[in-house]
Structures are given as C-alpha cells and as structure tokens.
Structure 1
Amino acid sequence: MQKNGLELDIVPYTILIDGLCKAGHIEVAKELFRQLSDSGLKPNVYKYGVMINGLCKERLPDEAYRFFGSMEDNDCSPNSCYYNVMVQGLLRNSHTSKAMQLLMKMVGKGFSADAFTTNLFMDLIVHSNKSILL
C-alpha cells in the first residue's frame, strides 16, 4: 500500500493485526503493533483491545496483561469494554487471582462487569464450590 503512495493510518494496521491474531500469527501481529509507533501512529483503545484479545486467545495472558498495563503509559486509558476483555482473558486462562484484582480496579474506576464476565465468574464460583463439596 505504501509503495503505491497510500498513507497508512491506524485502521489498516488494526485490520491487519486483527487478521494476523485470528490466523494464529501472534508474533507477526506483535511486530506490526511495534511498527505502528515507528510509523508515528499512536495506538488507540481498539487497537490495544485487538492485541489483548489475540494474546489471550493464544493462551498468553501474562503478555496480554502487560499490553493492558501499557495502555495508560501511552495515554490510552482502557474503557469498560477492554477491562472486561482483559478480565475474561485472565479467567479463560485460569488466572483467577489476577482477574479478581483487575475486577476490583475496574469497579474502583466506576466500570462494571458485563454479562459475559459475570457469567464467567459465576461458573468459576459454582465449579469451585462443587470441588470443595466433593
């Protein structure tokens, strides 16, 4: 695209990164994310969300959590949607303690868990109580 004189903005980068994550090419997606800054473009909340979701799906929740933490460092505060994405990713990857901590931080910022996040926590509680009873 650049060779044809087209200026790349955040949208094509985000689409490419999303596609790479969905195709399981997470390392290439991370490199493209890094190149974004080198191109003078600033990642937005949605772009971070794409990376966080992709990393969680690839079972890399610690790396996703680092991306999540770097959002505010780059003047890109997470909103309720992306707090939920991160909490869900942690829960799906059995990082319950970290998910609880993030949920408390989320609530402290005035956000609430969405229905899907709430259901994940409820399933966790139900399954933990069953194992205690057995």
Structure 2
Amino acid sequence: MKTDPLPSPRDFSLLLGAVVRMKHYSTAIRLIEQLRSLGVEDNHIWLNISLNCFCRLQRVDLGLSILGRILKLGFPIDVVASSTLIDGLFIQGKTDQALRFLDDMGRNGPEPDETTYAIIAKGLCRVGNTRLAIELLRDWEERGCRLNSFAYGIIIDSLCKKGFITEALRLHGIMSKKGVEPDVVTYNSLIHSMCDVGQMEGALVLLKQMTSGGIQPSIFTYSSLVHCLCN
C-alpha cells in the first residue's frame, strides 16, 4: 500500500478476488477500506466484492448499504449483486425478504439469471421448503427461464433426502428432456436413495445412464452400490 505509484485497480481487483476465494472476507473488506483511506476511488468491482463479503459474514444490512452506495455513485445494479444479496438473506433466514427481492428483480430488473434461480432453490431447500422450490421451478419453466443443472440438482437432492424418490426421478426425467445434463452430484443423490430402499436394479440403470453420458462415477457412487449389494 506504500508503493508510489500505487498498483493499478486491475491488480487490486485480482488481489481482492484471491482473498475472497480463500474466504478471508473480513480481510478483503479491510483492504478496500485502506484503499479508500489512500484516496483511491471506489469502482464497481470493489463494491460488488464488499457486498459479497458482508453477505458471507451474515451482515446483509451492511450489504444493503453497499447497494445504496452503488446507486449513489451511478453504477448499475447488476444480477451478480442482486443474486448475492438474495443468497445473503437466505443465509440469515430471511426467506420472505429474499423472495420479495426476487419479485422486485422481475419487475424492475436486473433480470434474474440461472445462478439467481439456483440460489433461490438452494435457499428454499435449506429451510425445508422443497415444495415451494418445486412450484417456483415449474413457474420458471413455464416462463421459459434458463435453468442450470445446479437448480434441478439441489431440489432433486432435497427430495431424495426426504424420501420422495419417485418425484426426484420424475424431475430428473424432466431436466433430461429439456437438455439440462445432470451432474455427478445429482446422480449420486438418486443412486444413493435408490440403494437405501433396496432398488438395486434402478440404481444400476442410473449408473448406466451416467456412464453413457460421459459422467465419471465417484467413490461415493460406488460406495452406495457396494453397500446396497452387501446388505
């Protein structure tokens, strides 16, 4: 921080990004505050990083203050910032507020993306509201929203853990028909659940689908199958 001239904003952004990836959120916030004390002006990237860090530290109130600063400085509120706030609200258990924020995105922008939808699905399943996650998923599908495998996989995993294997398999079929390829985590959830109830043949069918689709089974996949065979 004492070099003259100071490193470029791009260099600082790379440093901050590395710090955040290591989950040192408080450190990243302190570094940004030091930059301000040196007279370095805020930019859009650093503000988004600050917002993300506060949300990860379960200080969504401070994240919202950063959102106000972004608006005050004339920067656009992008989907990354909005999705991060929604995730932070879910982490703090503020489900209703998170869903209201999603509605506000639908009305005023920015348009939610597949990451936003995955965050909503994860947040709802985390608090045990899988039914609402499924309802919203159907609504998103009907409106032609682009959904990724993560959104489907989270709900499938939640259904499997609740013992609703038939519904999980049905959703798995729907995502496949829509051209959304399940990943190894989704297949593991399904195979593990099938094995738990002794449906070895169904588990092997899923294993065949998995490998024929070019997805390499993991040790968890084989552990579930071996455990089922031993039983």
Which amino acid counterpart does residue 41 of structure 1 have in structure 2?
C
| Alignment partner, residue 115 of structure 1 | 219
Stretches of structure 2 that go unaligned for 5 or more consecutive residues are 1-100
* Residues 1:103 and 2:226 are matched in the alignment: no
Q: Deviations over 1:95-133 (max 9, x none)?
A: 322111111222233333211111111212222xxxxxx
Pairing of 1:34-49 with structure 2 (within 5 A)? 34-49=138-153
* Residues 1:92 and 2:196 are matched in the alignment: yes
1:38 deviates by 3.5
| Alignment partner, residue 22 of structure 1 | 126
TM-score by length of 1: 0.80
* Residues 1:68 and 2:169 are matched in the alignment: no
CA distance in 2, matches of 1:100, 1:63: 19
| Alignment partner, residue 130 of structure 1 | none
1:10 deviates by 2.2
1:33 deviates by 0.7
CA distance in 1, matches of 2:104, 2:175: 31
Equivalenced residues, count: 127
Q: Secondary structure at the match of 1:3?
A: helix
Which amino acid counterpart does residue 88 of structure 1 have in structure 2?
H
| Alignment partner, residue 132 of structure 1 | none
The percent of aligned pairs where both chains have the same amino acid is 28
Contact 1:61/1:93, CA 8 A, preserved across alignment: no
CA distance in 1, matches of 2:126, 2:181: 24
Which structure has the bigger radius of gyration? Answer: 2
Which amino acid counterpart does residue 170 of structure 2 have in structure 1?
R
| Alignment partner, residue 3 of structure 1 | 104
Q: Deviations over 1:59-101 (max 9, x none)?
A: 1111111111112211212234432332223223443221111
**RMSD of the TM alignment (CA)?**
2.0
